[in-house]
Amino acid sequence: MRERIVSFPARTVFTVVGIVLAVAAVLEVLWIARHVLSWILISLFLALALNPAVEWLQRHRVRRRGAAVGITYLGVALGVVGLGALFVPTLVDQVNSFVDKTPDYVHDLTSGRGKLGFLETKYHVVEKVREQVHKGGASRILGLSGTALAVTKGVINAVVGTVTIVFMTFFMLLEGPRWMDRLYGLLPPESQPRWRRVGHDIYRTVGGYVTGNLLISLIAGVSSTLVLLIMGVPYAVALGLIVAFLDLIPLAGATLAAIIVAAVAFIHSIVAGIVVIVFFVVYQQVENHLLQPVVYGRTVQLSPLAVLIAVLVGAELAGVLGALAAIPVAGAIQVVIVDWNRHRLERLVARAGDLDLTT
């Protein structure tokens, strides 16, 4: 039995090693720049959500895109200021009320009385805290050694990220069409119409999902705030904002928000807690079977199983941002696959027609 010796040219070996090193370097750069990439992703989503308004203005007497983008930004700024004027004073008042009541909560906790007294009577929280203080001091139990630095760094990153996202979204809206034209210009002329159609379908899918998801989250936040106000639950506006933010996360966001809000409602009263749980159960059914099918069915057109798998994979890869981006990315991949199948079938039909002509 003869042995077969497979030899690879040195050029092939160096090429493979170079490709592996290049991929490793790219992955390392992406990991280092993950925060910047998250800002880019958020800016892209916001640009896709605002672009329909810009295009609407361009169709209605505002021909210059720069002017349309400026008007859109001004409208968004006025909307944010208006919402702030409506909610921020109430939010500040509720936070102040919570701070004023904190000593009472602490007194009830240490005395084993009130709504939080069970933490002391059943779990002996106060004794455990005192024990940790005696062992390692306040810096150990509260983590004060690095808390101030971490908070300062987090605030600075949040401010820098917000400013960067605002400007990046503006430039994406302003220069997006020109960038896409340049990208299409790199393709062969005969294939440009096809890929322009694919790009338009992806834009419609992602933009529709982003706009619809923001609308659903707004509905969730407003409706939950109204229920909390009716039941007299404190911090209703702040809790409504939490619901609106968490509801952006597909599938799991509303459930997580329900747990947080229901816990606060039960601290207020048992009746309020029960009403809040019933509300979230009913609303979850309405959102899952009415609101989300309308959004996903008309824009992304993904099956529930595909949505679940996409969200789980996205959350595992990139956390909350991955879960947010999972569905539109899956929708974009579906658009590409559908176009590839259609193009393949067209080529098969063309080949069959050529064979018929030759025979």
Q: Per-residue pLDDT for 94 more than 80?
A: no
Alpha carbon distance 325, 213 (integer Å) = 11
Q: Per-residue pLDDT for 142 more than 60?
A: no
| 3-state DSSP assignment of residue 89 | helix
- Contact between residue 322 and residue 342 where contact means Cβ atoms under 8 Å apart: no
The mean-pLDDT minimum among 15-24, 97-106, 269-278, 283-292 falls in 97-106
Give pLDDT, residue 255.
Answer: 84
pLDDT-based confidence at 224, cuts 50/70/90? very high
Q: Per-residue pLDDT for 138 more than 50?
A: no
Give pLDDT, residue 279.
Answer: 93
Q: How many other CB atoms are found less than 10 A from the CB of residue 296?
A: 23
**pLDDT tens-place string over residues 189-219:** 888 888 888 888 888 888 778 778 888 888 9
What average pLDDT does this structure show over 127-136? 58
**pLDDT tens-place string over residues 300-309:** 777 777 777 8
Percent above pLDDT 90 for the chain: 4
Q: Which two tokens stand for residue 213?
A: 């998801």
**pLDDT tens-place string over residues 157-194:** 778 888 888 889 899 888 888 888 888 888 888 888 88
| E strand intervals along the chain | none
Report DSSP state, residue 112.
T
Residues 6+ apart with CB under 8 A from 237: 87, 90, 91, 94, 225
Q: How many other CB atoms are found less than 10 A from the CB of residue 314?
A: 22
Q: Which two tokens stand for residue 237?
A: 């506006």
Give pLDDT, residue 141.
Answer: 47
Average pLDDT for the chain? 78
What is the end-to-end Cα distance of the chain in Å, rounded?
50
- Contact between residue 118 and residue 127 where contact means Cβ atoms under 8 Å apart: no
Q: Write down the domain spans for the chain.
A: 32-91+133-186, 190-352
